[in-house]
Copies of this chain bind each other. A is one copy, B any other.
Amino acid sequence: MNLSRIESPVFREKVITAEQAASYIKDGMTVSVPHFICYDSPVSTARALLGRRNAGEKIEVKLISAASCTPVIDEDWTNAGMIKSFMPYTQAHSGVRKSANTAEGGLNFMDYRLSMIPEYIRSGYLGDIDVALVSVAGITEDGKLKPSVCAGYTQTVLNCAKKVILEINLQSSEGMYRLHDVYEPGARPGRQPIPITKATDVIGSHFYTCDPDKVLGVVITDEPLFLSPMWYPLTADAAPPEVKQIAKNFVDFLQREVAEGRMTEKLPPIQTGGGMVAGTVLREMGKHFKGMEMYTEAVLEDAMDMVREGSIDFISTAGFGCAGDTTDHILKHPEEYEGKLMVRPVEISNNPEVIRRLGLITMNNIVEADIFGNINSSHVNGTSVISGIGGALDFAQNAGLPCYFTLSTAKKGALSCIVPSCSHIDITEHEPCIIVTEYGVADLRNKSPKQRVKEMLRIAHPDYRPMLKDYYERALEACGPDKAHTPVLLEELGTWHIRARDNGSMLSTD
């Protein structure tokens, strides 16, 4: 057994096999795998538990994750009926999503804001956590735990779980702890402010702490880190012209904001969602703005490349949502990124207090927006959840400039991303924002619902503009003269999505 990663004598005595570790997990327990994005999952223990299930044992647990786990959990546990409930977000794997969308017998998917889960854990709203399964990269001589790749709710869960199982993968990056800034908000009453006043502030420790008495054992494993294919880079290089146009529209908008004095030339820190649009926008911004910093939840491959190239000065993130040369380089040489890259717990990366204080520019993808500026970022046709709300609300509600990007249509034009009425509402019209498509920028600030309609029509696809205009005019008429703050047609709230569901297209069949 290779014990090189465990310098602490106390923890050396706790080494157990994955099978022994898994034996502590019983049917009906609440289990937490508190990492953010799948790199970090305790795969050996997860696989050992799956083995017991496959051998016929009934094991069904409530799972508190921080986002997608390893496919051994998200796919295999789910498909084996081992997950009774799951929170809070799932992207990389379809297993959890499929089960959440099952009418009967699927898992209960709790779709909460990422920044709130640690509060719910501490407050006992999620019940006791019986066992935490925690990946670490090593243990110091005095018993401190070295974070491996991404942060999550790890310290919160280490504090609150009744028992803890640690897993060390010998192929994980032992030096990544240098980039981590572990910070846990204090108990209430008496909690102090989170002392971040700029994206680069170091406020915590490089290490997690855990009472050794509640550690059931330490599992040592040795296998390649695995990131699911979906996370692989969709970088700006591959962007089609419409996406490049979104980037151009947004940079033009930002430059106007600077010219008119609403934005400083040195931009506030930036948050982005994932995917090609965000990467393309960021690349375009890098050509026009100097000294950019990010304060984000999951970092893009494009952004990490820009750090290496010098067009982004600094990134604070909770995790790495991609696999590529730069991520590999970071994992192999974390010391080269000190002062350029910092990994924070999700509760801190997504914290309303910090987001508002820093005045972030936030840039996220959406499913659809309605003509009044309500936004759906979680559901298809009102019923099927996609990935979950993730950090979208944390950022939307507190940003200095909340911005959303979407192509004007999806499914080769069959779906309009600007609709009369969203099929599910996640971000409300009360939080005015910037919505960008390839047709322009809808600036919803300082406008009433009726004023916003004009902005939204302008960025809709031309094929859908007449339909949207027709809807709005009929709605305004139908509301009557004195009930028209937000002219909606109650008779047609679902019409576009019914067509999408039944015909595969929102285009009218008339």
Contact = CB atoms under 8 A, between A and B. Distances in A.
Given A393-B397, A493-B494, A379 B446 contact: no
A108 B261 contact: no
Closest 6 interchain pairs by CB? Answer: A490-B494, A193-B193, A108-B448, A493-B493, A103-B484, A385-B485
A65 to B, nearest CB: 14
Contact of A100 (B421, B428, B448): B448
Nearest to A497: B490
A4 to B, nearest CB: 41
Given A101-B484, A484-B102, A485-B383, A191 B398 contact: no
B485 A451 contact: no
Number of copies: 2
Nearest to A478: B383
Nearest to A260: B124
Contacts of A194: 193
Interface residues of A, number: 94
Contacts of A111: 429-430, 448-449, 485
B193 A195 contact: yes
A289 interface: no
Say what secondary structure dominates the interface of chain A: loop
B498 A491 contact: yes
A431 to B, nearest CB: 7
9 contacts: A103-B487, A104-B481, A116-B431, A188-B359, A189-B198, A382-B486, A384-B484, A385-B486, A424-B486
Most buried by B among A195, A352, A446: A446
A103 B197 contact: no
Given A112-B430, A190-B198, A352-B356, A446 B486 contact: no
Nearest to A426: B428
Contact of A123 (B101, B353, B400, B431): B400
A268 B189 contact: yes
Contacts of A100: 448, 485
A389 interface: yes
A482 B102 contact: yes
A110 B356 contact: no
A465 interface: no
Given A109-B448, A190-B198, A447-B108, A98 B486 contact: no
Interface in A467-495: 476, 479-494
Given A119-B400, A423-B490, A447-B108, A383 B484 contact: yes
B445 A120 contact: yes
A488 B383 contact: yes
A381 interface: yes
Nearest to A496: B490
Contact of A98 (B193, B374, B400, B482): B482
Contacts of A197: 189-193
A224 interface: no
Nearest to A109: B448
Nearest to A352: B352
A217 interface: no
A450 interface: yes
Contacts of A356: 119, 352-353
Given A188-B268, A268-B189, A451-B108, A393 B430 contact: yes
Interface in A277-330: none
A501 interface: yes
B353 A482 contact: no
B446 A126 contact: yes
Given A100-B448, A103-B480, A383-B485, 12 more contacts: A103-B476, A103-B482, A103-B484, A109-B448, A111-B429, A120-B446, A123-B262, A124-B260, A185-B357, A353-B356, A490-B494, A493-B493
